[in-house]
Amino acid sequence: MNEKELLQQFFAGNARYQYLDVIGRGGMSVVFRGIDLELDEVIAIKVLAQSESIAEPEQLIRFKREINLNRKIKHPNVARLYEYGTRNGLSYITMEFIPGTDLKKILEDNTMGLPVKRALTILRQICLGTQAAHSHGIIHRDLKSSNVVIGPEDTVAILDFGLARAKYNPNLTMDTVMLGTPHYMAPEQAVGTPIDHRADIYSIGVIAFEVLCGEVPFTGDNPIAVAYKHVTDRIPDTLEYFPEMRPRLKNAVYKALAKNPEVRFATAAQFEAELAAVQREYTSGALRAVKDPEPPKPRGPEKPPASTAPKTDSRPVAVLLPPRRQAPGTRHSRVLLVEADSERRRLRRSQLVEAGYTVLDASDGFEALEMLPRVQPGLVVIDVRVPGMSGFDVTRAIRSREDLSVLPVILLVPDLDRQAYAYGIQCGANDLLDAAGSEEEFTQAASGRLKPDALEMPSGSSRADSNGEGTDGTA
C-alpha cells in the first residue's frame, strides 16, 4: 500500500481526525499532522502500514499497556503519547505534535557534525529524557537521531518511547528484526540476547558520535552486516581528528559505546552528568556575569565585581543554621536555597530540612553569588523568578567562575516547558523542575544531585574500554 492509499484508507469517513499534511515517513509507518476535532488540538498521527498493523490480541494488549506506561513519563524531553486505536484495518497512535526538525535531517545539513557546545546541549537533554523514561522501567530500544526532534532554541523531544517493545514479536526472523535501525543497536541487541536500559545508553553513544562527527560509527552493505560490526569491530577513531574535542568528551563517548554493558555508564543520568562536566570545561571562565562589564547607571560610578552584591545597607543577611554552619565534612549536605517569595522559601526549606539537609537562604541573585564562595554548599536551588539576576543568569555566572563551576544547580521554573528546559541546560543547570511540582520530585532531585555517583573515567582508561576489554586485552 502506497502513501496515498494509506491516507485515503485511514481518513475515509473519519469524523474525529482531520488531515493536514505528512510530516514523517518510514519503512513501517507514515506520520500525519492532523487536528483532533474532539479536543480541537493539532496532533501527530502515526499510521502503521497494513503489514505492520496489530491484529494478534496478545500483541494488542501489550501495545496498549506500553502506551499507558508511556503516559506516566512527565518530562519536557519526551514526547507524549495519547492513545492507540485501529481504523479501517489500520493501527494508529496519536501523539503530541512537536514543531521542529529531526536531528537526522539537521546532521544531513551539517556533515562535519555540530559545534561542540551545541552538541552537548542536545545530548544532555537526550540523556535526561531517557533517564526519565528509564525511571519508569521503559526502555526505548530504537533510539536514533531520526527519533529526536529539535525545536526552537535547541529544545529536544524524544519520540516513540516504549513502542519498539510493544511491536516486538519473538517469532520474527533475524532478517526482519534487522529491518529496524542497526546503525544504533547495542551489540547485545544485535545478537538477540536479553537487554536492559544500558542498550539505550549505547544508542545515545552512537548519536553522540554522529552529532560530533557527522557520521555514525558503522555502515555496511546490508542491515545484518552493520549490526554485527557493532558486535565485532572496534569503534573508529574519527573523534581523534577533531582538535576541538577534549579528551574527557571523547572518553565519555567511548565509554557509552563500550561493547560490554558493564563498562558503559550505569545510567543515562551518569552519562548526562559527565556531559555536564564536559560542558563546564568548555564554558568555565569563558562567560561573563550578565551585569558585566557595565553595571546599571543608578548603581553609581564604581563598577562592582560580577561576583559581589551591589553596595547597599539594606540588603538582607543570609539566614544560616548556627548548629551546623560551616561544619567540617558536611559540604555535601548543605543547600543554598535562592527564593524571593517568603512562603515558597519556607516550604522548600522545610522540605529540605525534613530530608536531613542544612539549608542556607538567599533572597536574590546578587546575594546568592556573594554567599557562594563563603558558604560552599553542595547544591544550589534557584527559583528563576528571583530579583536582581534571574535564576538563569545566576547559573551562567556560576558556570563562568572556576571556583564555583562544579557546583550542581537545580532551577525551579513556573510552567516548565521545553524551551525553558533547553535554555536552562544551555545556561549550565544540572536539572530543571516545575516550581509547582511535588515535594517527592523536589527532594529526590536534590538528593540525587547532592550525592552524585562517581563519574570519572578510571585512570589510564582509553579507547580500549569502548570494546569492553580490560588493560590486558581480555574481555
- Over residues 101-117, the pLDDT tens digits come to 999 999 999 999 999 99
Q: Are residues 249 and 139 in the same domain?
A: yes
Does residue 458 belong to any structural domain of this protein?
Answer: no
CB count within 10 Å of CB 130 equals 29
Does residue 78 belong to any structural domain of this protein?
Answer: yes
Report the domain count for the chain. Answer: 3
Q: Are residues 130 and 13 in the same domain?
A: no
Q: Are residues 111 and 204 in the same domain?
A: yes
Q: Are residues 113 and 198 in the same domain?
A: yes
pTM of the predicted protein model: 0.76
Q: Are residues 231 and 345 in the same domain?
A: no
142 a catalytic residue: yes
Does residue 292 belong to any structural domain of this protein?
Answer: no
Does residue 297 belong to any structural domain of this protein?
Answer: no
Q: Which residue has the higher pLDDT, 128 or 301?
A: 128
* CATH code, 41: 3.30.200.20
Instruction: Give the range of the structural domain holding residue 245, as residue numbers without chain letter.
Output: 101-283
Q: Are residues 20 and 47 in the same domain?
A: yes
Looking at the predicted structure, is the pLDDT value of residue 406 above 90?
A: no
Does residue 302 belong to any structural domain of this protein?
Answer: no
pLDDT in tens, 281-294: 887 644 443 333 33
- State the Cα–Cα distance between residues 471 and 251, nearest whole angstrom: 15
Among residues 35, 61, 96, which one ends one of the domains? 96
Cα atoms in the Cβ-side hemisphere of radius 13 Å centred on 455: 20
Q: Are residues 190 and 123 in the same domain?
A: yes
Q: Are residues 91 and 106 in the same domain?
A: no
Q: Are residues 165 and 207 in the same domain?
A: yes
Among residues 69, 96, 123, which one ends one of the domains? 96
Looking at the predicted structure, is the pLDDT value of residue 312 above 70?
A: no
* CATH code, 191: 1.10.510.10
Per the rule left: phi > 0, alpha: psi between -120 and 50, beta: everything else, 195 is: beta
Q: Which residue has the higher pLDDT, 462 or 345?
A: 345
Query: Which sign does the torsion angle of CA 209, 211, 213, 214 carry?
Result: positive
* CATH code, 421: 3.40.50.2300
Among residues 61, 96, 131, which one ends one of the domains? 96
Q: Are residues 217 and 359 in the same domain?
A: no
Q: Are residues 111 and 244 in the same domain?
A: yes
Greatest mean pLDDT among 6-20, 44-58, 284-298, 441-455 lies in: 6-20
Q: Are residues 230 and 244 in the same domain?
A: yes
Does residue 430 belong to any structural domain of this protein?
Answer: yes
Does residue 179 belong to any structural domain of this protein?
Answer: yes
- State the Cα–Cα distance between residues 275 and 95, nearest whole angstrom: 30
Does residue 289 belong to any structural domain of this protein?
Answer: no
List the catalytic residue out of 21, 40, 142, 383: 142
pLDDT category at 150 given cuts 50, 70, 90 is: very high
- State the Cα–Cα distance between residues 405 and 222, nearest whole angstrom: 46
Distance of CA 20 to the CA centre of its chain: 30
Q: Are 1 and 9 in contact (CB under 8 A)?
A: yes
pLDDT category at 24 given cuts 50, 70, 90 is: confident
